[in-house]
Amino acid sequence: MKLQETSLPGVMLIEPKVYSDHRGFFMESYNFEQFAEHGVNTSFMQDNHSLSKDVHVLRGLHYQLHPKAQCKLVRVTAGEIMDVVLDMRRGSPTYGQWASFVLSADNKLQLYVPAGFAHGFCTLVPNTQVQYKVDAPYSPQHDRGIRWDDPALSIPWPTSSPILSEKDKHHPTLAEAELNFDYGEGE
Ligand SMILES: Cc1cn([C@H]2C[C@H](O)[C@@H](COP(=O)(O)OP(=O)(O)O[C@H]3O[C@H](C)C(=O)[C@H](O)[C@H]3O)O2)c(=O)[nH]c1=O
């Protein structure tokens, strides 16, 4: 399992060790000790799984307010996504910066997203399944979002007309959003 830093310090891209043979493959999709060797000591407590039936389904950009902010470990088990993380930690040197990654069932790459980041993805093929671990429980009272098409972010989504939930049609921009997570919180 390889973990590498990305352009946003703290956000890690993980490449699992895949054992292929004539039957198919085996891999450890998560290993606490190997993450801890790379300084990621997160204890996850919930697994999430979503299916997006169509191409260009866009879910996000979502986050939970402190004290229910979540670290996430995201992977794709069917299909392919453009995954986006946005640093919303007040006082962060990379505040307001985003990064995007293509995660797919084929490349088996995973993304570790620290608390204080908003997260979202857009599917690149139909019938895409995303599975992700979180280290804090779902809390509807703390659930918030940022507009996927915030002009100040100019995220180059693969479509200008994604399939959205009603909720995702009405988020504020980053500048308007309710933020309460400070850089260095909980480290
Ligand atoms: C996130 C979540 C949702 N739900 C319920 C609430 C709704 O009745 C239903 C669908 O929720 P939502 O439309 O928020 O699902 P997504 O749009 O896929 O949201 C997720 O997508 C982006 C990419 C994320 O990173 C977040 O983890 C998460 O917000 O599942 C739960 O019961 N538990 C949960 O942890």
Higher pLDDT, 181 or 109: 109
Q: What is the CATH number of the domain that holds 26?
A: 2.60.120.10
Residue 118 located in a structural domain = yes
Summarize the confidence of residues 175-187 as an average pLDDT: 86
Contact present, 134 and 30 (Cβ < 8 Å): no
CA-nearest residue, atom 6 of ligand 1: 140
pLDDT of residue 82: 98
| pTM of the predicted model as reported, rounded to 2 decimal places | 0.96
- Residue 186, pLDDT > 70, answer no
Supply the range of the domain harboring residue 63: 2-170
Of residues 186, 177, 185, the one with CA closest to residue 92: 185
**25 CB contacts (<8 Å, ≥6 apart)?**
18, 19
What DSSP string describes 37-69? HTT------EEEEEEE-STTBEEEEEEE-TTS-
Of residues 159, 169, 74, 166, the one with CA closest to residue 122: 159
Number of domains in the chain: 1
Residue 183 located in a structural domain = no
Torsion of the alpha carbons at 72, 77, 80 and 83, rounded to the nearest 10: 0
- Residue 169, pLDDT > 70, answer yes
Question: Annotated catalytic residue: which of 56, 112, 119, 132?
Answer: 132
Residue 176 located in a structural domain = no
Confidence of residue 187 (pLDDT cuts 50, 70, 90): low
Residue 184 located in a structural domain = no
Using CB distances shorter than 6 Å, the residues near ligand 1 are 48, 50, 59-60, 62, 119-121, 138, 165, 167
| 1-39 pLDDT tens trace | 899 999 999 999 999 999 999 999 999 999 999 999 988
| 98-148 pLDDT tens trace | 999 999 999 999 999 999 999 999 999 999 999 999 999 999 999 999 999
Residue 44 located in a structural domain = yes
Taking the centre of ligand 1 as the mean of its atom positions, its distance from the CA of residue 49, in whole angstroms, is: 9
Residue with tokens 């060790």: 17
Q: Report the SS3 class of residue 105.
A: coil
Taking the centre of ligand 1 as the mean of its atom positions, its distance from the CA of residue 48, in whole angstroms, is: 8
Phi, psi (rounded to 5 degrees) for 169: -85, -10
